[in-house]
Amino acid sequence: MTAALQGLTSPIGPATSAAQHPRVRRTPWLLRVIPAALYLAFLAYMFIGVMPMSDASAITSGDGNANERLAVLAMTGIALVEIVRRRRVVLPLLMRSWPIWLVLGWFCASVVWAAFPDIAVRRVSVMVFICIIALAIAAGIGPLRRTLGLMAGILVVVIAGDLAVTALNPGFAFTEIGVRGYHQQKNVAGLVAMLAVIVGFGWTLAAPRPGRILAGLAFTLAAFGFLVLTKSKTSMMLALLGVALLPGMLILRRLGPATALFVTLLGAGGVGVTYLGVTAFGGDFVGLLTPGNDSSFTGRTQIWDFAASEIARRPWTGYGFGSFWDVGDANDPLLRAPPGSWLATLKIGERADVVINEAHNGYLDLRLQGGAPALAFAVLAQILTILALAVKLFSRRTGRPDAVAAATYLVIALVVLVHNATESSFWMRGQVLANVSILISLLAFRREPEREPT
């Protein structure tokens, strides 16, 4: 009533009030779609690549290619526009995501002492661009449920394409060690399929309606079927682990954080007791966890021994980011492999039948690139990412679809820790899981938007 009386007694009346509160200008639609478009482009870059159905080689993996550089630079330019536009959101996110920038900063500093500074500069620059792109996406993409839905959509296209290439072009898709679809090698195909299984199952649980359940389970089974064709044992094991963990996390969300902490400690204690029991009787605990009781992990132990000897040369600094593997035939580290090791018998360069350009252990590769500090910073960032996602999962303010998305990303973050025991994906240049991990970390550290971004 008071407002109405003021309007009546005003010389100009309600028109004055309208003039004092002008209509809010809407952001042009082109700017509003930038985050989603950038996110989809980034996912396509990671899961499809710029050169599908091309063979991997030591030269390509070492030096990259012009198309890839152009794609990254284009996405970085768009990301910078988005960062400037959303600077009020970006600046707090920069502060909260300090663990990511700590790791990146250390790798940038490693250029100073890198064994090959020119190579280190090029490769760390790409990693900086990837982080900028991920920062822009995290700041503007909107709620977690949207990120999960868009990722599931891209992966549907990816798996459909892989199955189509496998059926229509078996000469390329099939290799002696497994199916690769249109990817450069079967391990990359296995990683993408593993993510598709976890993300597809998470998308299904986010809104369990009959139609969505049928569609989600059909996609998840198709992705797992392709994963089996790749013969990527590690990815298959981790996909099954992820599918098993997701419902458990949602149950723990209903029971509360205290119960979740108790169950986590109980599980860790059970693993510890089992380890002590097996080793006390002379058993091989690690061998029990590997397919076929292969405690050598398909010859990986010799690679690990070699990597450990190289780490001993530079335990605190490492060789610089990207300055150990893929540094040219004349400087290939395998030239220093000990006599008698199968590593010493491998051919180097384009003549190689098998290319070794990682330690097949992410923790060792972190030390090779940045020494002990790189390992400490990266593991700290991953643990804090897991804790930040757990906070989102158990928060009362998080709705079910966003909670399921948080649980899905939490599963992937946990999978990364296990994956790096036998493969390298921690901050590895050009590695699918490395780029996904950085994006998930920035999504974890951000403050969830209360309303749709404009």
pLDDT of residue 220: 96
pLDDT of residue 339: 82
pTM of the model: 0.88
Print the SS3 string covering 162-174: HHHHHHHCHHHHE
**Distances in Å between the alpha carbon of 249 and those of 49, 231, 257, 389, 413?**
32, 28, 10, 12, 13
Residue closest to 286 by CA, chosen among 190, 418, 382 = 418
Distance CA 183, CA 453 (A): 35
Q: Are 193 and 224 in contact (CB under 8 A)?
A: yes
pLDDT digits (tens), the chain, 454 positions: 444 444 444 444 444 444 455 555 666 766 678 889 999 999 999 999 888 877 765 344 445 677 888 999 999 999 999 999 999 999 999 999 999 999 999 999 999 999 999 999 999 999 999 999 999 999 999 899 999 999 999 999 999 999 999 999 999 989 888 999 999 888 899 999 999 999 999 999 998 888 899 999 999 999 999 999 999 988 999 999 999 999 999 988 888 777 777 777 776 676 666 656 655 655 555 555 555 555 455 667 888 889 999 999 999 999 999 999 988 888 888 888 888 777 777 767 655 556 788 888 999 999 999 999 999 999 999 999 999 999 999 998 889 999 999 999 999 999 999 999 888 999 998 889 999 999 999 999 998 776 444 3
pLDDT of residue 7: 42
Amino acid at 151: M
